[in-house]
Amino acid sequence: MRLSKYFLPVSKEAPSDAAIVSHQLMLRTGMVRQNGAGIYTWLPLGLRVLKKIEQIVREEMNRAGAVEILMPTLQQADLWRESGRYEAYGKEMLRITDRHDRDMLFGPTNEELVTDVFRSYVKSYKQLPLNLYHQQWKFRDEIRPRFGVMRGREFMMKDAYSFDLTAEDARHSYNRMFCAYLNTFSRLGLTAVPMRADTGPIGGELSHEFIILADTGESAVFCDKTLLDMPAPGIDLDFSADLSAEVEKRTQYYAATEEMHDEAAFEALPEDRRVSARGIEVGHIFYFGTKYSEPMNAVVQGPDGQMVPVEMGSYGIGVSRLVGGIIEACHDENGIVWPDGVAPFHVGIINMRAGDEECDAACEQAYQALELAGIDALYDDTEDRAGGKFARMDLIGLPWQIVIGPRGLKNGVVEVKNRKTGEKEELPLADALAKVRPE
């Protein structure tokens, strides 16, 4: 993308009403624009990151055997009356009346709707296991939306729902999502720790939150340091195999959010393994058995001919919130430092003297070569001053920069800068292009 044809409204000042660094940086880099309390437009740079996250989440859900669908944003109130949650959900649910005075709502989550889809089609245990997921905008009418996209009202969530015949099968589905989540967050450049969690309004008896550590985290968390050093299971994991060992390998270590914290158990850890920090919730998984299938009559015929309510779980990832979460975990004093997997562009090209024939030609060559290799590049072809170009490129945090100027070209070199390490190197253009190629 050529910057002169792009829409990247970067601003110098940190806006006064943004309390945390990710919100400040998202506004300064022109990633989002607020349109109302907790409601945002995703501008081009922000949308690219959001789409990259969506795609990684999609790939890892598919790999774990979940099947993608897309449920609507608006739902009928009657479904929620069946489960008993319509009154229970409270003011966070945005209630709507249509022109025919029917009660509707903007979905804050989809247990009821997906259970209705399921019961319309699935009648036999032979059609199980089934895991349906979607990535769709949700609405929760938070009383005090804040922290930008980290606690918005309209937000993008990935929510998956598993259906099984028995509690044991359901536990296997839970474990599959547990492992898929670890792989997903790892690909996003994050270390997420699964912690025993309260089940809240979703309900159920078994639940884990996936938490990333950041100074600005919304809540206090406590865990064994061993968990921070443990790699994700990896994408070559066999999801049809028994995964309980993979799960227990982690759940054997202490990790809990504030509400579930057991000070005595934590104190029993050797002191150098006790991590007490702030955390951001980026995923939450639940096993809740027949909580929805029973009242909503989502039953299947078992091998013995009996009709039984299906065993369910649900699995959420805060896709839009992750954009803020990643920035909280990945920034420095000059701006964002995107992990490779989610960077809006992989390389920024800076033309130090736009209009100079030699500079223009070298930049053009670099830009075309990267495009041809399928590497996303943002080419700063504007006539802004060099200092402003450097600051802007650092601020938006692409993993690599290639700086092309007349002095270097005279010596046959360009400068390559790694945004994360700050390391700079002068190289011939061909070598620079090889250097920035993703592994």
Nearer to its own copies, 93 or 404 (CB): 93
Are 298 and 164 in contact by the 8 Å Cβ rule? The answer is no
Q: What sign results for the dihedral spanned by CA atoms 9, 14, 16, 19?
A: positive
Q: How far is the CB of 273 from its own copies (least distance, A)?
A: 41
Strand partners, 221: 257, 277
396 forms part of the interface with its own copies (CB under 8 A): no
Q: How far is the CB of 141 from its own copies (least distance, A)?
A: 5
55 forms part of the interface with its own copies (CB under 8 A): no
9 forms part of the interface with its own copies (CB under 8 A): yes
Are 279 and 211 in contact by the 8 Å Cβ rule? The answer is yes
Backbone φ, ψ for residue 336 (5° rounding): -80, 150
54 forms part of the interface with its own copies (CB under 8 A): no
Helix axes 167-187, 244-251, angle to 10 degrees: 70
88 forms part of the interface with its own copies (CB under 8 A): no
DSSP string, 351-405: ETTTT-HHHHHHHHHHHHHHHHTT--EEEE-S---HHHHHHHHHHHT-SEEEEE-
Q: How far is the CB of 163 from its own copies (least distance, A)?
A: 10
The four Cα atoms 112, 117, 119, 120 give a dihedral, to 10 degrees, of: 140
What six digits make up the tokens of 108?
């804050």
Q: How far is the CB of 217 from its own copies (least distance, A)?
A: 26
User: Which of these segments, 18-26, 100-108, 167-175, 395-403, binds its own copies (CB under 8 A)?
Assistant: 100-108
Nearer to its own copies, 36 or 270 (CB): 36
106 forms part of the interface with its own copies (CB under 8 A): yes
385 forms part of the interface with its own copies (CB under 8 A): no
Q: How far is the CB of 91 from its own copies (least distance, A)?
A: 5
What six digits make up the tokens of 335?
């701006």
For residue 194, say if its preceding peptide bond is cis, omega within 30 degrees of 0.
Answer: no
44 forms part of the interface with its own copies (CB under 8 A): yes
Q: Is 130 helix (H, G, I), strand (E, B) or coil?
A: strand
Nearer to its own copies, 165 or 232 (CB): 165
Q: Is 423 exposed, middle or buried (0-12, 13-18, 19+ CB in 10 A)?
A: exposed
The four Cα atoms 103, 108, 112, 113 give a dihedral, to 10 degrees, of: 80
121 forms part of the interface with its own copies (CB under 8 A): yes
DSSP string, 136-175: EEEE---SS-BTGGGB-SEEEEEEEEEEESSHHHHHHHHH
269 forms part of the interface with its own copies (CB under 8 A): no
Please identify which residue in the block is written with the tokens 């100027």. 405
List 52, 80, 115, 116, residue binding its own copies (CB under 8 A): 116
Nearer to its own copies, 160 or 227 (CB): 160
C-alpha–C-alpha distance, residues 47 and 36, integer Å: 18
Give the footprint of its own copies on residues 138-167 (CB under 8 A): 139, 141, 143, 154
C-alpha–C-alpha distance, residues 256 and 277, integer Å: 11
355 forms part of the interface with its own copies (CB under 8 A): no
Q: How far is the CB of 117 from its own copies (least distance, A)?
A: 6
113 forms part of the interface with its own copies (CB under 8 A): yes
What six digits make up the tokens of 111?
């247990």
Q: How far is the CB of 69 from its own copies (least distance, A)?
A: 5
415 forms part of the interface with its own copies (CB under 8 A): no
Q: What is the DSSP letter of 29?
A: T
The four Cα atoms 257, 261, 263, 268 give a dihedral, to 10 degrees, of: -70
96 forms part of the interface with its own copies (CB under 8 A): yes
List 23, 24, 42, 53, residue binding its own copies (CB under 8 A): 42
CB atoms under 10 Å from CB of 223, counted, come to 25
39 forms part of the interface with its own copies (CB under 8 A): yes
List 7, 14, 368, 412, residue binding its own copies (CB under 8 A): 7
117 forms part of the interface with its own copies (CB under 8 A): yes
Q: Could you report how far apart the first and last alpha carbons of the chain are, in Å?
A: 22
Nearer to its own copies, 79 or 195 (CB): 79
Are 190 and 345 in contact by the 8 Å Cβ rule? The answer is no
List 18, 64, 71, 414, residue binding its own copies (CB under 8 A): 71
User: Which of these segments, 109-117, 278-286, 288-296, 363-371, binds its own copies (CB under 8 A)?
Assistant: 109-117
Show Cβ contacts of residue 303 under 8 Å, excluding neighbours closer than 6 positions.
Answer: 125
235 forms part of the interface with its own copies (CB under 8 A): no
Q: How far is the CB of 5 from its own copies (least distance, A)?
A: 6
Please identify which residue in the block is written with the tokens 């030699």. 358
What six digits make up the tokens of 248?
């227990």
User: Which of these segments, 112-120, 181-189, 300-308, 311-319, binds its own copies (CB under 8 A)?
Assistant: 112-120
Please give the residue ranges that form the binding site for its own copies (CB under 8 A): 5-7, 9, 30, 33, 35-37, 39-44, 47, 50, 65, 67-76, 91, 94, 96, 98-100, 102, 104, 106, 113, 116-117, 120-122, 130, 132, 137, 139, 141, 143, 154
